[in-house]
Structure 1
């Protein structure tokens, strides 16, 4: 069974998470510079079977698109041009960064480790993917 990949896209960095081959567990994969993301994905897709990519959809508290929406939509256009056959889905990413930070606290990471924004992005991508998988099962 192919994997599902999740992207927490940002201007500087993108956190990436992926499921296992059985699509049961979501795990953080890595964080890459956003300007290198397409090259990373080309390499990853050549090595691993991926059935779908999930990208976070930033929204304000009232459900309206956030100010970063145009940046993500520009990336999505580029993604679809590079990978026209790859299914893409969106998921609300509100609170994922806060949840990721709380996860780091709960797991006992020291303050210096919690300042690693790349790790926050990777955990946020994992939270989005877990959320997506739990909603898709019903």
Structure 2
């Protein structure tokens, strides 16, 4: 339990916590603690576990950034958070579609490179890093 969570009884509404977090940003940790696992699970079910960490975190970064616009008449922040998450998922899908269309236009396939080729490229980059750093 975070220090901020100890400051609020479980009966405090999300709206009260978000309202207070505008003046005391550390209070927003309570909202994060309450809903991160739910948001993470939602993203994982839609995009897979590999993207869930990033998009769940981005949800809370976005929510924190716009918390001063939260409608305090709504005591429960879950619909707001799910709305932010849904928008991020939709943005991810649009970016993925653009990427696939661009690959189709250019005739390149990002996945055609085998694992062995990726390892060679990475090792080459690591080998060149030292001399480049010394030259700078």
Higher share in strand: 1
How would you bin the TM-score normalised by the shorter chain?
under 0.3
Q: TM-score, normalised by structure 1?
A: 0.27
| Higher RCO by CA contacts (8 Å cutoff, separation 6 or greater) | 1
TM-score, length basis structure 2: 0.28
**Structure with the greater alpha carbon radius of gyration:** 2
